[in-house]
């Protein structure tokens, strides 16, 4: 048994050595070289190079030409092309005698210079001619527009509305009425917005709601409305109004006013309607509940300011 084991080990070692020899054996020198004719690809028409030949090609790859060398060679070729171009000789008018023509040929060629200023002069002349032609064009008379235009009227009404709203910042005095909801019922911002729009007020400059003499057309501004906060009256934030609660509404009439009597009467009337709508009450600027006597007092005060 021991002899058989030794023989088996020897045979295994021989097989392993034979396999290593096959693996590490160098390729046959009889493989094709660079001199073997190349085969072309039918689709791309490019030569098919075997893998064992590519190592030989790498040793023969020429050194790449740098960009500086290519630029210098191109510049040299351009200079040679310029030198080889025949010089342009000016045309010389024929002379009758042969004696005078001979010295003309002996003169150096550098004396002839091409004239380049002629096209510029011609362009100037053409430009002057065009200006002369434009002077003869008849001008159209512009007549003033006297007819009525809905677009113009709308623009004027919009401008008038902007002027009225901007006058709020420069008001000399104001008459204010405050509307407070029922303390036991919260006034939501969504309901406030619906009520203001219901009675013809529109959101505009200074983040206020404004009421005009005619709701469909932007005419005279009657009064404006702000919201009441713990810090005082402030403008409306339409983006956050729907999720907020409103503590009250401040109606105010800017003085001087074009139609102060109509402005105050409309403000007092709409303030009372909105107070009834939200189950609230109307107060004057001194936080006194608006009675008929107080209403007449503030009405006469506004009218007297107009008389001043």
Each residue of 265-301: pLDDT tens digit? 999 999 999 999 999 999 999 999 999 999 999 999 9
Q: What is the pLDDT of residues 134-145, one digit of tens each?
A: 556 666 666 665
Cis peptide before 74 (omega within 30 of 0): no
- Judged on CB neighbours under 10 Å (0-12, 13-18, 19+), 290 is buried
Strand locations in the chain (E) = 39-40, 47-48, 173-180, 187-188, 202-203, 209-212, 221-229, 232-234, 245-246, 249-255, 281-284
Q: What's the pLDDT band for 108 if we cut at 50, 70, 90?
A: very low
High-pLDDT (> 70) share of the chain, %: 54
Determine the length of the chain.
Answer: 308
Residue 283 to residues 74, 191, 211, 295: CA-CA distances in angstroms? 95, 20, 19, 10
Q: Which residues contact 79 (CB under 8 A, 6 or more apart)?
A: none
Q: Evaluate if residue 105 carries a pLDDT over 70.
A: no
Question: What is the average pLDDT score of the chain?
Answer: 74
Residue 133 pLDDT exceeds 80: no
Three-state secondary-structure class, residue 254: strand
Distance of alpha carbon 168 from alpha carbon 224, whole angstroms = 9
Residue 274's pLDDT is 95
CATH topology for 156-307? Cell Division Protein Zipa; Chain: A, (3.30.1400)
pLDDT for 220 beyond 60: yes
How far is the CA of 216 from the CAs of 201, 226, 259, 308, in angstroms? 11, 22, 19, 32
Please give the pLDDT value at position 13: 92
């Amino acid at each position: 048994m021991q002899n058989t084991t030794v023989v088996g080990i020897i045979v295994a070692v021989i097989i392993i050595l034979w396999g290593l020899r096959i693996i590490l054996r160098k390729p046959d020198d009889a493989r094709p070289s660079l001199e073997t004719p190349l085969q072309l690809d039918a689709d791309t028409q490019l030569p098919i190079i075997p893998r064992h030949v590519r190592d030989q090609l790498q040793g023969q790859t020429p050194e790449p030409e740098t960009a500086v060398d290519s630029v210098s060679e191109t510049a040299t070729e351009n200079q040679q092309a310029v030198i080889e171009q025949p010089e342009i000789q000016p045309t010389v008018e024929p002379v009758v005698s042969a004696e005078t023509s001979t010295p003309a040929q002996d003169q150096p060629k550098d004396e002839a210079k091409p004239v380049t200023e002629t096209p510029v002069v011609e362009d100037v002349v053409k430009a002057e001619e065009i200006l002369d032609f434009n002077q003869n064009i008849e001008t159209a008379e512009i007549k003033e527009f006297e007819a009525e235009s809905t677009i113009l009227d709308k623009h004027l009404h919009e401008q008038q509305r902007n002027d009225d709203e901007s006058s709020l910042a420069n008001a000399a005095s104001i008459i204010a009425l405050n509307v407070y909801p029922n303390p036991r019922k919260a006034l939501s911002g969504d309901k406030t917005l619906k009520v203001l729009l219901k009675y013809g007020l529109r959101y505009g400059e200074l983040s206020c709601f404004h009421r005009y003499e005619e709701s469909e057309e932007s005419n005279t501004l009657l009064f404006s409305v702000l919201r009441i906060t713990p810090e005082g009256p402030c403008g409306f934030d339409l983006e956050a109004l729907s999720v907020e609660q409103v503590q009250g509404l401040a109606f105010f009439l800017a003085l001087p006013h074009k139609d102060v009597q109509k402005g105050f009467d409309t403000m007092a009337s709409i303030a009372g309607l909105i107070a009834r709508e939200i189950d609230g009450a109307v107060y004057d600027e001194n936080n006194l509940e608006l009675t008929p006597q107080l209403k007449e007092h503030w009405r006469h005060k506004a009218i007297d300011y107009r008389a001043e």
